[in-house]
């Protein structure tokens, strides 16, 4: 059978179409590969920079808890013990290790081997155990941020001395400490338990994590019940008229409003009108609840729509009232979808920074908050503050905090996926 001109044109057109489809598929695969490549590069860069922050450097010194310095009156009163010159004890211990250091500038460099918070740590040990007074003990103290970075980058202290923030004499002292086993790298508990600090080696995310958890608790307690009840009313009981259409349109619009607008609302209403505590988790939770409420309502309505009408009809046919049909049958079946939407909304709230900046949660908070009214910051805000700090050691702190934030977000989204897979029903 010979091909007619029409058949030839058809075959040529099909070939062009197939080539076009293959090119489109190739471009799509290339776009996915590039996107994954950039994502892997970004995450790998953050992880590599942040892993070093999970360890810190400590230096061992022999400390004599001199009674004449700590408690000259011998009263053992807590107020007298807290006012002692513990920094002087730390400096004397360093001079005892290196007795040849006589020059004033060299002494200052020697003191910079340890963190400025070493004296506070020593005071805490004495306050917790006054029996240490009069004894000589080996105490592991946190090294300064320059020593910490130098030890992580060059544990032998034999090269790139200036770029590590320490000079040749300090490098020689650190080599002697390493040779005598008086310097080590340990797990950085301070990073997870303490609040913010001006000194990088003392800064931690404990306060920011607690502030985020308290804010999310307020957000969940407000947004989920209100969102679920609103979704039930709009989907099951509200009359279909112009007013409900306006409400639905406004809810959908609020879900796409920039988050900083909710921060401005919280600033003008919660702080200026109701005079609530500035930078508190209560205010932060209220602002985040307003921001996540439209998302929870939309997810709740979608979950209610996924329940087949036959469930409602079967309940009504056996004598159940409309209220009983919804709350005894429809709502329990839609609850997994509602919870999934609430968790996704909480994950979005956890990563928000702009609304919290507007209500003052950008303040420098040293203490870990213990209640909903205490001053606090949040994890994304803490990342913002550290990223703007000039000290080089805050770079690894910033990356490590990003790792922790990503871990929280991944866990929350994973819980949402697991709940959807486990409780989802096929109708």
CA distance 198 to 363: 13
The per-residue pLDDT for range 314-367, each reduced to its tens digit, is 998 898 898 999 999 899 889 888 988 888 889 889 988 889 988 888 888 888
Compute the distance between CA of residue 425 and CA of residue 337 in angstroms, rounded to an integer.
10
How far are the Cα atoms of 57, 218, 340 from residue 212, in angstroms, in the given order? 28, 10, 20
Question: What are the pLDDT digits (tens) for 251-271?
Answer: 989 888 888 999 999 989 999
Distance CA 95, CA 98 (A): 5
What ranges in 233-378 are assigned the alpha helix state H?
Answer: 242-254, 259-266, 281-305, 309-317, 322-325, 331-350, 354-358
State the maximum Cα–Cα separation within the chain, in Å, rounded to a whole number. 118
Distance in angstroms (rounded) separating the CA atoms of residues 141 and 137: 12
427: pLDDT strictly greater than 70: no
User: From CA 238, how far away is CA 235, in angstroms rounded?
Assistant: 7
pLDDT tens digits along 19-47? 888 898 999 999 999 999 999 998 899 99
Query: 199-224: per-residue pLDDT in tens?
Result: 899 999 999 999 999 999 999 999 99
For position 16, what pLDDT does the model report? 84
* Residue 161 pLDDT exceeds 60: no
Per-residue DSSP letter, 54: G
DSSP 373: T
Phi–psi pair at 29, nearest 5 degrees: -65, -40
Cα–Cα distance, 366 to 345 (Å, whole number): 29
Residue 351 CB neighbours (<10 A) = 17
Helix (H, G, I), strand (E, B) or coil at 143: strand
* Residue 267 Cα distances to 215, 347, 350, 379, 387, angstroms: 16, 23, 19, 20, 25
Q: Is the dihedral of CA 144, 398, 355, 226 positive or negative?
A: negative
Residue 163 CB neighbours (<10 A): 12
Q: Round the CA-based radius of gyration of the chain to a whole number and report it.
A: 31
CA angle 420–422–424, rounded 5-degree value: 55
Half-sphere exposure in the Cβ direction for 132 (13 Å, CA)? 20
Q: Which CATH number applies to 206-423? A: 1.10.3720.10
- Smallest CA-to-CA distance from 382 within 250, 232, 209, 220 is with 209
Length of the chain measured in residues: 427
pLDDT beyond 90 at 58: yes
Q: Which two tokens stand for residue 71?
A: 């408690």
Q: What is the pLDDT of residue 401?
A: 94
Q: Write down the pTM of the prediction.
A: 0.86
Q: From CA 369, how far away is CA 374, in angstroms rounded? A: 5
Quote the mean pLDDT of the chain.
Answer: 88
What span, in angstroms and rounded, lies between the C-alpha atoms of 374 and 289? Answer: 19
Listed in sequence order, the residues at least 6 apart from 265 whose beta carbon sits closer than 8 Å to its beta carbon are 287, 290
Task: Identify the band that residue 163 occupies on the pLDDT scale cut at 50, 70 and 90.
Answer: very low
pLDDT in tens, 340-355: 888 888 988 998 888 9
Residue ranges matching CATH 1.10.3720.10 in the chain: 206-423
Q: What percentage of residues in the chain have a pLDDT greater than 90?
A: 43
- DSSP H or E stretch at residue 124: helix 118-128
């Amino acid at each position: 059978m010979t091909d007619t001109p029409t058949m030839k044109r058809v075959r040529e057109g099909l070939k062009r179409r197939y080539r076009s489809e293959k090119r489109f598929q190739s471009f799509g695969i290339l776009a996915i590969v590039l996107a994954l490549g950039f994502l892997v590069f970004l995450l790998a860069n953050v992880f590599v920079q942040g892993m070093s922050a999970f360890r810190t450097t400590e230096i061992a010194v022999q400390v004599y808890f001199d009674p004449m310095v700590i408690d000259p009156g011998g009263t053992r009163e807590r107020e007298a013990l807290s006012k002692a010159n513990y920094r002087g004890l730390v400096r004397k211990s360093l001079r005892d290790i290196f007795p040849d250091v006589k020059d004033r500038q060299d002494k200052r460099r020697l003191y910079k081997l340890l963190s400025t918070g070493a004296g506070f740590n020593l005071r805490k040990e004495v306050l917790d155990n006054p029996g240490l007074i009069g004894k000589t003990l080996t105490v592991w103290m946190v090294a300064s941020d320059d020593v910490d970075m130098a030890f992580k980058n060059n544990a032998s202290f034999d090269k790139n001395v200036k770029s590590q923030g320490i000079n040749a004499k300090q490098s020689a002292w650190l080599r002697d400490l390493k040779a005598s086993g008086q310097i080590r790298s340990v797990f950085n508990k301070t990073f997870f338990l303490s609040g913010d600090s001006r000194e990088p080696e003392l800064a931690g995310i404990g306060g920011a994590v607690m502030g985020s958890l308290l804010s999310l608790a307020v957000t969940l307690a407000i947004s989920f019940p209100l969102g679920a009840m609103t979704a039930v009313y709009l989907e099951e009981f509200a009359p279909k008229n112009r007013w409900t259409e306006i409400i639905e349109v406004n809810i959908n619009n609020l879900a796409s409003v920039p988050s900083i607008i909710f921060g401005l609302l919280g600033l003008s209403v919660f702080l200026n009108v109701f005079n609530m505590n500035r930078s508190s988790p209560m205010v932060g939770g209220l602002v985040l609840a307003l921001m996540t409420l439209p998302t929870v309502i939309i997810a709740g309505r979608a979950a209610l729509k996924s329940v087949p009408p036959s469930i409602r009809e079967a309940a009504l046919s056996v004598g159940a009232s409309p209220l009983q049909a919804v709350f005894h049958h429809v709502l329990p079946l839609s609850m997994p979808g509602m919870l999934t939407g609430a968790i996704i909304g909480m994950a979005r709230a956890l990563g928000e920074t702009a609304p919290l900046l507007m209500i003052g949660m950008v303040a420098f908070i040293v203490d870990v908050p213990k209640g909903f009214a205490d001053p606090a910051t949040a994890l994304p805000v803490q990342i913002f503050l550290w990223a703007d700090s000039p000290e080089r050691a805050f770079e690894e702190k910033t990356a490590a905090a990003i790792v922790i934030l990503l871990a929280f977000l991944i866990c929350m989204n994973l819980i949402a996926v697991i709940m959807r897979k486990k409780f989802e029903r096929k109708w």
